[in-house]
Amino acid sequence: MSGQELCEVPYHVAIVMDGNGRWAQRRKQPRIFGHKKGVEALRRIIECCGKHGVSILTLFAFSSENWRRPPAEVSGLQRLLFSSLVAEADSLVSNGVRLRVVGDLDPFGPDVVDMVQRTEHRTANNHKLELVIAVNYGGRWDIVSACRKLAIKVAEGNLSSDAIDERSVAEALSTSTLPDPDLCIRTGGEYRISNFLLWQLAYTELYFCEVLWPEFSEDDFVEALKWYATRQRRFGKTQE
């Protein structure tokens, strides 16, 4: 099934990688074990994107709300995230993957900010796949930050409030320069957006599946792409 030609491939896929904790708990393992398996699933799906012609992959790796989890899970997850980025940096460079991290990195300190910026810089000329990782990200945080940026421009006399439109808001978001996702996949059987890309998902096709993220396979990914290919996207217009 995975070698199959798809008639229309989404340019930009966003994923809420849910189900790591339950996957681990079912095996009587700590939740961090599930997150580690989740990184393996992630590697698999990054390869699938290249293979099936997806150009941008955006992942919800750590939400602004994840701080509410037990401290051991929060610190374990952060360590896993940043150590995976360091460990995979060379492979991103050699596989043509451009990395971009969105979200509020300030709480993680200057060393993390520096490491992320260096990896973004090292991969800046890669064009096979753009990998966007949302860390300490929340859709509401993104919109509030954009409002603040625009308010400062207005207060400084560099922007008229009448000139604020969808385009200027989109350009003030952390995802500026990225097109909106065409397809958003959420694994793990929950049917919600959980404060992911609230503005950017306005016309995105939403695909929910029961598979827990550590088990999400190439066949599951292709299933989502096939479902997407059957969708008729109207963006508020009629079929005619």
CA separation for the pair 30, 216 (Å, rounded): 19
For Cα atoms 123, 129, 133, give the angle at the middle one, nearest 5 degrees.
Answer: 75
Cα distance from N-terminal residue to C-terminal residue, the chain: 33
Q: Is 138 in the site for ligand FPP (CB under 6 A)?
A: no
Of residues 177 through 216, those in contact with ligand FPP by CB under 6 A are 188
76 binds ligand FPP (CB under 6 A): no
Smallest distance, ligand FPP to C-beta of residue 40, A: 9
Applying CB under 6 A, which part among 75-83, 111-119, 200-208, 215-223 lies near ligand FPP? 75-83
Q: Which residue, 77 or 146, is less far from ligand FPP as judged by CB?
A: 77
Considering beta carbons, is residue 58 or 204 the nearer one to ligand FPP?
58
Out of 59, 105, 150, 185, the only residue in the binding site for ligand FPP (CB under 6 A) is 59
Question: Residue 183 pairs with which residues in a beta bridge?
Answer: 13, 205
Report if residue 39 touches ligand FPP, rule: CB under 6 A.
yes
DSSP 8-state secondary structure symbol assigned to residue 7: S
> Does the annotation count 66 as an active-site position?
yes
In contact, 193 and 139? CB cutoff 8 Å: yes
Give the pairing of strands 205-208 and 183-186: parallel
Minimum distance from residue 97 beta carbon to ligand FPP (Å): 12
CA distance linking residue 45 with residue 48, whole number of Å: 5
- Helix (H) or strand (E) run with residue 226 in it: helix 218-229
Looking at the Cβ atoms of 66 and 168, the one nearer to ligand FPP is 66
Catalog residues that contact ligand FPP under the rule CB under 6 A.
17-22, 31, 35, 38-39, 42, 59, 61, 66, 77, 80-81, 84-85, 133, 188
